[in-house]
Structure 1
């Protein structure tokens, strides 16, 4: 037993002696003699000079430490600075004992005063392009078993990274005050903390990543980070990786800030194009979602929740970039979308649009910008319980859009407007050389009186309106579409009422003689155009109250934008017949309509009042009913029921007039009140433009 103890003691002494001898030998070695060899190897690999200005210092202990100062790596010959990388101080400390078991354990790596310059010249050449790498000899099986070092901690202080792109005219400066990475081993999580600024915008990154050993292992890599940058707080938590060679991610994302305006102002320091951007959204915002990446082409945002000032949205967004063209799928919902709050407001007048050659046309002949509809496929669904625009509340809004192979369909588009239901669908097919358009719009029982109240015009009229638009056409411009348009447009009102405000605008005489409820009741108002190959023919234009009827006829040529219309007002009562009813023929173009009084068709004392009648029309804008033309008139009335056929969808033409006695109250004892004067160089100037809007401009 004593011999064994003596043997072990002798071996121990021998080992200690060998260690002491090894340390003594190592301490006598001047490691600076290897600086030249290191520089030669670096130049052979990169073609650049590596300079080690300071001494290579090795401190021998159970935790050896190597350090060096003044290391620099040369920049490309065309670079803006002599050095691409420079390091003031580098130090690394490792554990000696783990080496006995074949493990490389580095306790700490320290880098201080690091400057890195990454730049591109005007031709796009980068300074990190070192040319083609030298050919590598195949690794043997023993060489393939690489032992990864274990790094417990990395500390970087005072790091500057500058990026210059002469081709793009961009420059960024990244300053890292501190970078601290800590890990308990290859299988332990990695804690990190980074603080710095980019272009003087401070940022910080803190959190925890998966283990170093899991990197590149094919498994999903856990990530939990909190980022503060550009006045934003960003949270990322989940897993990412490259299993089976395909990038994958499943991350919970949150983004929040106190002010979107402040965030954009901060971002403008990095992207000058954002400077001066005016956004109406005020207050805090927050966005959260579950982000998934499935391979290199499929990405989705599920459980999307957006709170942006007064706007709150929920839904999902997905994109597949792997097909013939990108495919996007979006579904969003909101309780209230207040466009009055979201759309920009400005007291400054809008800048005038760039002047275009005046060809005297309303419908533009410029080619429609439809190429973008072939660049991607998309499905978009949007639902809103309420949309507010220009003070008007629209409820139950539902829109579904589908874009596939250049065919854009909006079906359905539904909403409740002023208590009435609106349904529409649109198909725009750009898959062929000439675009084809089909549009259907149906509105039922929309309370236009409610809309007028919301617009501050509650004293004009009340009632409900139905509308039907069913048109189709083809062309490469709006002008071509209109020239070949087919279908019909119809607007219908039943059982409405004219109020004093409307009567005052039309004629002060009507305000006086509409003395009964029946006179002011709108029995019907119908406007229907049947359209064939760009020719819009009047099927019915009827406006009828208890006291008067207005009948329209003629056509509007959508191809050459010319008008050939006649509007014929007729009284039903003798007291109304004393208000001159003047048929008006409307001609000219949509851009410059013209009008002419039909003297032969005028009722009342035409000879005495013709001049005054024409003046009254001109001074009272669009009024087709003018002031009394004489104290004594030959009254004519028309009691034809125009509403019944018009409401039944039948074609309406003017009936015959009958002579009626003027009532005693209109014997001429009093003078007519002066007309309300309205200044207008051409009272029908807006008719053509209105027709252009009706048919789809």
Structure 2
């Protein structure tokens, strides 16, 4: 707008010069005879040199003047190029209306106009000397004008034929900003100008900017009206602009602006409608091939004094193409209204709707303190959509899932509040539907550089198995490697040290593999590198499992802790669900308080410390029948054949208690005892997890009984204790059975001759059965 005002001032100055020249010429007959007087007058008024090659007059029916090859010199200290030069100037006035004190001026014709505007390194411009300071603008004659006199009244009867500028050029050279701007092929035409009546204006030009390199072609068409009180109006404004060059991120951008009407009254701008059409062709570094669409603004008002702006409707439609777009093409539609008050620092976007691909969202946005520390409140609703199809359109490859119908139902609604000063984001009334799952609750995060997170979420149910890959037949296991894979546990340590968290999530019903926990509650708290999960509880295995866990990354080495105290735990169901093994059954109590530290599995084992206690009732160890093994041993001692049985290979117990202490990865047995219908078992020893070895002695005392697992057959072994030694690698320990005492107690004399043979035979039988039993356990 400043540049346009400057151009208009220059044109007005030229018109004044021309009118002065006309006055001088009219007083004479041959204007060329008085060329020197004219140039002297211009020199006196402007300090510039005026050169005119040819001047001519016309007298009837129009009084006019024609100038050819005219130029005005540049200001001192600037380039030698003329400030302005014109190939042809023509203007005139009808003679007959002058007799009636009416002024009818022909169109002002300026062909081949060249205007050079410059600014030096100090900020001085080459037109400063042509613009008089405000305190010099009032002359003595001006003071005689009455205050209530309107200067425009003297031009009330003016009828100006318009302006016709052809093949113009405007050059702007800014040494201070190191920038050159050139307007070429400037064409400006207007219709006849009469006060109170609309007239057309057409402007076209080619623009080139040096830094950054931008070239554009602009065409402007409009209708304008000028009233003698100084008010003006514009309608049917149409601007078309095409821009290219390295200074823009695209190859080519074309816009067309249509403004049928607008008015400015009492500092209020009113627009009935504004339509902007755009067509963008992407460049090398632009992510899209093309963007084409329309932006519409309806019933817009803006008060410059109160700085309040309102639009009844804002609509944006776009068609985009590109390799990264689903199917190569997508359509976007955005609609909203707007109320913005800069003084009150408020903004409101009600009835906001967005449609893109298969996603439809609606909501509203309200903001305060928009010019300082903005606080934004938004409500968003995402209509139900097929998330799987949407991700497919976005070319996002999903992992294989057991159920191909997952992710086909997605919807969400939430309220969002964002405070820019505190970097606080709050999500309220969250409601997310995914297939058969519903997530609700609230969440918040502040200080993004050191996140402070809080949440309270609830998930009604989820079947995790549906989202996991389908189970396949297990391939033949590869031979185990000699060395253990020492996996490293990667943790975002720096983030955890900055993180503050306090949140609870509840899950009503979950399914994972063979587990079906219910009423899950997990509360997480932490700050400055220390995090705790307390509690983590769930109803599972017909009881409630309660776990407390902790993580500490304040030091160089991460530290972990786990505590649990669970009663009435069916250990068989747990092993079947977690390890796909039912070698051990029984119901009882399991307590554990364990800590460890490290970044690798080997370090976890080495730094393992704590206690564990298990008390099981009425269970069994499957895969090994200790009673049968002893009966077989007894038969061999008696010289009889081993008995056959169709009963399941298991060892029943009425009570099994294990109490251990763990020190630096070594498990020390405080107590290991079991009560079976026919025997009492006690054990002692160590398990060294870092080395992967064990050294255990299990003593079995026969207690004859007439019930349970052939107790009647063992009456004659009553009181005998049989020790079993387990030693060596955890995965394949050596097992030895000491039958020396059994032999000496029951048949010392008769067995002495063949003791070695019988002992080895029985020992091998028991060892084989024990090894078969141990194969089902993982250490």
Unaligned runs of 5+ in 1: 1-9, 78-82, 129-145, 269-273, 624-682, 691-697
Aligned residue in 1 for 2:274: 154
Aligned residue in 2 for 1:227: 354
The 3-state SS of whatever aligns with 1:262 is: helix
How far is 1:490 from its partner?
A: 1.8
1:96 to 225, 228, 248: 225
After TM superposition, the structure 1 = structure 2 runs for residues 324-363 of structure 1, keeping only pairs within 5 Å, are: 325-345=450-470, 347=472, 360-361=483-484
Q: Is 1:202–2:202 an aligned residue pair?
A: no
State the Cα deviation string for residues 31-73 of structure 1 (Å, max 9, x = none).
653xx32x53799868365565674454678555555567565
Aligned residue in 2 for 1:188: 310
Q: Which entry has the higher C-alpha Rg, 1 or 2?
A: 2
Structure-2-length-normalised TM-score: 0.61
Q: Are the aligned partners of 1:514 and 1:520 in contact in 2 as well (CA < 8 Å)?
A: no
The CA distance in 2 between the partners of 1:495 and 1:410, in whole Å, is: 33
State the Cα deviation string for residues 77-134 of structure 1 (Å, max 9, x = none).
8xxxxx75655x644546636995767766655547666877679xxxx999xxxxxx
Q: Are the aligned partners of 1:104 and 1:148 in contact in 2 as well (CA < 8 Å)?
A: no
**Inter-CA distance 244–15: structure 2 relative to 1 (3 Å threshold):** closer
Q: Are the aligned partners of 2:188 and 2:202 in contact in 1 as well (CA < 8 Å)?
A: yes
1:404 to 527, 530, 555: 527
After TM superposition, the structure 1 = structure 2 runs for residues 523-542 of structure 1, keeping only pairs within 5 Å, are: 523-542=654-673
Aligned residue in 1 for 2:559: 436
The CA distance in 1 between the partners of 2:766 and 2:157, in whole Å, is: 121
Compute the RMSD of aligned alpha carbons.
Answer: 4.9
Aligned residue in 2 for 1:40: 172
State the Cα deviation string for residues 245-267 of structure 1 (Å, max 9, x = none).
01221110122452222222333
Q: Is 1:614–2:764 an aligned residue pair?
A: yes
How far is 1:600 from its partner?
A: 4.1
How far is 1:439 from its partner?
A: 1.9
**Inter-CA distance 547–84: structure 2 relative to 1 (3 Å threshold):** farther
The CA distance in 1 between the partners of 2:181 and 2:429, in whole Å, is: 53
How far is 1:366 from its partner?
A: 7.0
Aligned residue in 1 for 2:287: 171
How far is 1:180 from its partner?
A: 2.2
The CA distance in 2 between the partners of 1:563 and 1:66, in whole Å, is: 99
The CA distance in 2 between the partners of 1:367 and 1:246, in whole Å, is: 38
Q: Are the aligned partners of 2:400 and 2:470 in contact in 1 as well (CA < 8 Å)?
A: no
**Inter-CA distance 484–276: structure 2 relative to 1 (3 Å threshold):** closer
The CA distance in 2 between the partners of 1:527 and 1:400, in whole Å, is: 31
Structure-1-length-normalised TM-score: 0.68
Q: Is 1:597–2:729 an aligned residue pair?
A: no
State the Cα deviation string for residues 529-587 of structure 1 (Å, max 9, x = none).
11234331012233433244443320122444432123445554353689999754333
The CA distance in 2 between the partners of 1:584 and 1:154, in whole Å, is: 94
The 3-state SS of whatever aligns with 2:661 is: strand
Q: Is 1:414–2:563 an aligned residue pair?
A: no
The CA distance in 2 between the partners of 1:507 and 1:21, in whole Å, is: 128
Moved more, 472-481 or 415-424: 472-481
Q: Is 1:30–2:165 an aligned residue pair?
A: yes
Q: Are the aligned partners of 1:465 and 1:492 in contact in 2 as well (CA < 8 Å)?
A: yes
The CA distance in 2 between the partners of 1:398 and 1:430, in whole Å, is: 24
Moved more, 112-121 or 341-350: 112-121
The CA distance in 2 between the partners of 1:565 and 1:424, in whole Å, is: 30
Q: Is 1:316–2:442 an aligned residue pair?
A: yes
After TM superposition, the structure 1 = structure 2 runs for residues 488-527 of structure 1, keeping only pairs within 5 Å, are: 488-496=611-619, 522-527=653-658
Q: Are the aligned partners of 2:573 and 2:582 in contact in 1 as well (CA < 8 Å)?
A: no
Q: Is 1:245–2:372 an aligned residue pair?
A: yes
Aligned residue in 2 for 1:143: none
**Inter-CA distance 194–17: structure 2 relative to 1 (3 Å threshold):** farther
Aligned residue in 2 for 1:551: 682
Aligned residue in 2 for 1:587: 727
Q: Are the aligned partners of 1:586 and 1:593 in contact in 2 as well (CA < 8 Å)?
A: no
**Inter-CA distance 54–12: structure 2 relative to 1 (3 Å threshold):** closer
How far is 1:17 from its partner?
A: 11
The 3-state SS of whatever aligns with 2:605 is: helix
- Aligned residue-pair number: 570
Q: Are the aligned partners of 1:118 and 1:164 in contact in 2 as well (CA < 8 Å)?
A: no
How far is 1:335 from its partner?
A: 1.3
Aligned residue in 2 for 1:479: 602
Structure number with the bigger relative contact order (C-alpha 8 A, sep ≥ 6) is 1
The CA distance in 2 between the partners of 1:430 and 1:558, in whole Å, is: 24
The 3-state SS of whatever aligns with 1:434 is: coil
Q: Is 1:374–2:512 an aligned residue pair?
A: no
Aligned residue in 1 for 2:381: 254
Q: Are the aligned partners of 2:224 and 2:232 in contact in 1 as well (CA < 8 Å)?
A: no
**Inter-CA distance 101–512: structure 2 relative to 1 (3 Å threshold):** farther
The CA distance in 2 between the partners of 1:373 and 1:422, in whole Å, is: 27
The CA distance in 2 between the partners of 1:44 and 1:152, in whole Å, is: 41
Q: Are the aligned partners of 1:92 and 1:106 in contact in 2 as well (CA < 8 Å)?
A: no
The 3-state SS of whatever aligns with 2:408 is: coil
Q: Are the aligned partners of 2:102 and 2:157 in contact in 1 as well (CA < 8 Å)?
A: no
In proportion to residue count, which structure has more strand?
2
Q: Are the aligned partners of 1:118 and 1:161 in contact in 2 as well (CA < 8 Å)?
A: no
How far is 1:340 from its partner?
A: 1.4
How far is 1:609 from its partner?
A: 6.3
**Inter-CA distance 459–362: structure 2 relative to 1 (3 Å threshold):** closer
The CA distance in 2 between the partners of 1:582 and 1:600, in whole Å, is: 7
Moved more, 530-539 or 557-566: 557-566
Q: Is 1:236–2:363 an aligned residue pair?
A: yes
**Inter-CA distance 453–363: structure 2 relative to 1 (3 Å threshold):** closer
Q: Are the aligned partners of 1:154 and 1:181 in contact in 2 as well (CA < 8 Å)?
A: yes
The 3-state SS of whatever aligns with 2:310 is: coil
**Inter-CA distance 85–527: structure 2 relative to 1 (3 Å threshold):** farther
How far is 1:384 from its partner?
A: 0.9
The CA distance in 2 between the partners of 1:304 and 1:561, in whole Å, is: 49
The CA distance in 2 between the partners of 1:178 and 1:506, in whole Å, is: 88
Q: Are the aligned partners of 2:509 and 2:516 in contact in 1 as well (CA < 8 Å)?
A: yes
Q: Are the aligned partners of 2:624 and 2:770 in contact in 1 as well (CA < 8 Å)?
A: no
**Inter-CA distance 483–31: structure 2 relative to 1 (3 Å threshold):** same
The CA distance in 1 between the partners of 2:292 and 2:238, in whole Å, is: 16
Moved more, 152-161 or 448-457: 448-457
How far is 1:218 from its partner?
A: 1.8
